[in-house]
Amino acid sequence: MHMNTPSPAPVHMADQSPFLVRAAAPSGPSRVRGQGLRSLMHALAGRFDAATVAAIFQETSADVRSTLLSSNIAVSGWYPISWYAEIYRACRAVTGAGPEIARELRAEALRRDAKGLFRFLLRFATPSALVRHSERVCALYLEGPIVKSTMSGTQELQMEFSALFGYDESCVYDHIGGASAALELSGGANVELRSLAVAPNYESFVARLGWQ
């Protein structure tokens, strides 16, 4: 089921929140697996016509654009999270969409992944089972961020991401979209974002997702 529920307005956390204090900095900028980048490209192609996708690519910076146009993205390679930010920035500039487009595109990208390389996601019989292994699942896509996922209710996930480098608003919504789709794939219905708190400069965020 696709998520069309409007997201609550994010709350900006103070600089000295406990969540920020216990975050440990990684050795370098946050990075994403090439598979996630490839699936995002497929999601763009599925959402927009060819002319719009071409305009989005053209709007990206030269280094990102050259890789995207050459299709030279290594599935198992690692790329800066700033590339996600760049692609979503270009997408929003060309289409006029808001940050929700990142959530929608990542959700579609993860659904595609679950039919192929990451079809093991379908083995999780319930959302709670997925939550127990979510940090390991995130490690397949992400390098650098510290991720903590807990059940904050019988049908509610609280996920905390910290030590984020190179993130912006769209990157945050990208991760929310991925989590939402994963919960759907494990049997959750009517997944919704119930709250979102973000730190200054998007160095960390805490989101709560509920389902039926």
Task: Give tens-digit pLDDT for 68-89.
Answer: 888 889 989 999 999 999 999 9
Domains delineated in the chain: 11-20+29-210 (3.90.1520.10)
Whether 177 has a pLDDT exceeding 90, the answer reads yes
51 vs 160: CA distance, rounded Å: 37
Q: For CA atoms 135, 120, 80, 157, give the dihedral sign.
A: negative
Residues 6+ apart with CB under 8 A from 52: 94, 95
pLDDT, residue 29, reads 83
Please tell me the predicted confidence (pLDDT) of residue 23: 35
Which one, of 39, 69, 62, lies nearest residue 181 by Cα? 39
- pLDDT score at 30: 94
The pLDDT value given to residue 27: 55
pLDDT digits (tens, 9 = 90+) for 2-55: 444 456 767 655 433 333 323 334 457 899 999 999 999 999 999 999 999 999
The Cα–Cα gap between 39 and 112 comes to 7
Which pLDDT value is given to residue 174?
Answer: 97
What would the two tokens of residue 51 be?
């002319």
Q: At residue 65, what are phi and psi to the nearest 5 degrees?
A: -60, -40
Buried b (16+ CB within 10 A) or exposed e, 149-181: beebeebbbbbbbbbbbbbbbbbbbbbbbbbbb
Contacts of 37 (CB under 8 A, 6+ apart): 73, 79, 83, 84
